[in-house]
Amino acid sequence: MAMDTDSQRVLEYLTQVEEAAEDVIATKQQIVDLDLKRNRNREALNALRHDLPNSDKVKVCFGNIFIKFPAKKTTEMIQRDQEQLDKEINDLRKELKVKVNQLNNIQGKPELKGFSLTSLSPEELKAVDNILRR
């Protein structure tokens, strides 16, 4: 009877670890997928700026359909999409930090040091720069 209880506890532990690890992997894959889309958008913006600077209309793929669309509107749409992708990627990265810490907690490992650091905002960088110039 005691062996069954221990086996059950080990099985529950392993299930928790596996679920947490799969959650971490799924979040990482989402980040990779969104980053690939962001790179394709960056390439499209580059093409609009450099390869097709004088074009009035460009062909844009919406699902399975190509539509001629004004180049300026297309650029604006892609830029808005880039901003949305940046926001989603940053949110997923914040989630990933929490999920990795949860996984480490389940496994009894200490929290990663420096893992929850965030970069300075442009305003903070400007303030630091001003202080250093004095």
Q: What is the pTM of this model?
A: 0.75
The pLDDT of residue 115: 66
pLDDT digits (tens, 9 = 90+) for 67-108: 998 988 999 999 999 999 999 999 999 999 899 999 999 988
Residues 6+ apart with CB under 8 A from 70: 56, 57
pLDDT digits (tens, 9 = 90+) for 32-60: 999 999 999 999 999 888 877 777 888 88
Q: How far apart are CA 44 and CA 51, in angstroms?
A: 10
Question: Which CATH number is associated with domain 2-133?
Answer: 1.10.287.370
Residue % of the chain over a pLDDT of 90: 52
